[in-house]
């Protein structure tokens, strides 16, 4: 295979667009001189908050899981961080032509403080470090639920943190002790300071963050996955919460300021990752919809492309596009820097030794 055009290429610690050719030789990418411009080529896209293996709140069948992976791959996603599933999906690793999955096991939540079917329930704060360590010994990431509505408060119920700060810090340290990392679901402002102090490895949603917390996340190198498509469902969630007026107000405030908040994160310099969660339709293969939401928040097309490709790949320790890299890239027939809509229609997706033409 030989492709020529404008390539988002990494060399000498710098990543930039270059006119060049790329070939695959002996299982690795090689750069070559080229004048023609047939394609615009970027490292494979990364969906960092994706629930492959779930259909709603139920376990996907084998056929459904494979279809999910194919839909993601055809959208240009070649690397997925699983953000919590019920049953392990490791068996798909033997199939060629699927995105690579970075696993986080099953959600961990306090008993009766999350969606009933999804998590492993942790009975108490004191037991959290043990439960986290068990997941960390099996997975490179652990998915922890940081806050949820506490319905025991009746009409006064709001989103509240699940964990004692000391237990949370001990749990994160337990994961780190065996080389695993911790991603935390959080909507509420009250949760964020404890997450920052515990030095979690990524914040998912982060809808409650204020400017000071964003600056602290930047200083600590903690990225945020805004999941704007998911936050876009908060108004519907609020409409169904007639028994909990304060919670409803919380959700509506976060919905109404979602673009403004992500714009502020970008202005402050927080590392933003791209994750679809379960909101796009179709649920899988919908990464472009999340990218378009980031555009509405004011990010430039170049910022969005960088966040979804080489910056995410480097954060997770995977190859971008450079001399000798594993073949993992997407080619387009037009320049996505000029028009983000180009990302809806990959011409070619290369994942390892498998090449897919656009559907």
Q: Show contacts of 283-286: CB within 8 Å, 24+ apart.
A: 283/51, 283/68, 284/50, 284/52, 284/67, 284/68, 284/69, 284/71, 284/72, 285/71, 285/72, 285/74, 285/75, 285/77, 286/75, 286/229
Looking at residue 330, its pLDDT comes to 97
340-355 average pLDDT score = 91
Q: The whole model's pTM is what?
A: 0.96
Q: Tell me: the pLDDT tens digits for 261-312?
A: 999 999 999 999 999 999 988 899 999 999 999 999 999 999 999 999 999 9
Q: Tell me: the pLDDT tens digits for 237-259?
A: 999 999 999 999 999 999 999 99
To the nearest whole number, what is the mean pLDDT of the chain? 96
Q: Tell me: the pLDDT tens digits for 42-82?
A: 999 999 999 999 999 999 999 999 999 999 999 999 999 99
| CB-based contact 175:183 (threshold 8 Å) | no
User: For the chain, what percent of residues have pLDDT higher than 90?
Assistant: 94
CA angle 339, 341, 343 (to 5 degrees): 105
Alpha carbon 87 to chain centroid, angstroms: 19
Cα–Cα distances (Å) from 141 to 4, 254, 320, in that order, read: 37, 27, 21
Looking at residue 358, its pLDDT comes to 63
Looking at residue 355, its pLDDT comes to 79
Residue 309 has φ and ψ, to the nearest 5°, of -125, -100
For residue 359, pLDDT over 60 is answered with no
If DSSP codes are grouped into helix, strand and coil, which group holds residue 89? coil
| CB-based contact 62:95 (threshold 8 Å) | no
Q: Partners of 40 in the beta sheet?
A: 6, 332
């Amino acid at each position: 295979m030989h492709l020529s055009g404008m390539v988002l290429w990494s060399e000498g610690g710098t990543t930039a667009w270059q006119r060049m050719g790329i070939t695959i030789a002996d299982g690795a990418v090689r750069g070559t001189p080229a004048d023609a411009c047939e394609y615009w080529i970027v490292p494979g896209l990364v969906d960092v908050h994706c629930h492959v293996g779930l259909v709603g709140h139920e376990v996907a069948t084998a056929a459904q899981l494979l279809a999910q992976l194919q839909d993601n791959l055809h959208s240009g996603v070649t690397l997925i961080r699983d953000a919590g599933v019920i049953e392990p999906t490791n068996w798909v690793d033997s199939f060629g032509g699927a995105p690579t999955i970075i696993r986080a096991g099953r959600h961990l939540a306090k008993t009766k403080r999350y969606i009933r079917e999804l998590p492993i329930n942790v009975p108490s704060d004191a037991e959290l470090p043990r439960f986290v360590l068990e997941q960390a010994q099996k997975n490179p990431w652990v998915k922890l639920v940081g806050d949820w509505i506490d319905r025991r408060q009746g009409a006064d119920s709001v989103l509240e943190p699940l964990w004692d700060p000391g237990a949370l810090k001990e749990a994160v340290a337990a994961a780190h002790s065996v080389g695993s990392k911790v991603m935390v679901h959080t909507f509420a402002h009250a949760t964020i300071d404890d997450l920052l102090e515990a030095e979690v490895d990524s914040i998912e949603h982060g809808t409650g963050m204020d400017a000071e917390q964003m600056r602290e996340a930047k200083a600590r190198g903690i990225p945020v996955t805004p999941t704007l498509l998911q936050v876009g469902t908060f108004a519907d969630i609020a409409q169904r919460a007639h028994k909990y007026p304060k919670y409803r107000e919380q959700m509506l405030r976060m919905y109404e300021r979602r673009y403004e908040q992500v714009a502020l994160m970008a202005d402050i310099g927080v590392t933003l990752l791209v994750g679809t969660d379960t909101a796009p339709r179709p649920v899988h293969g919908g990464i472009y919809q999340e990218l378009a939401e980031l555009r509405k928040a004011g990010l430039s097309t170049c910022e969005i492309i960088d966040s979804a490709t080489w910056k995410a790949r480097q954060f997770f320790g995977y190859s971008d596009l450079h001399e000798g890299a594993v073949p993992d890239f997407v080619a387009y027939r037009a320049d996505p820097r000029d028009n983000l809509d180009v990302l809806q229609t990959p011409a070619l997706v290369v994942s390892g030794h498998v090449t897919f033409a656009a559907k």
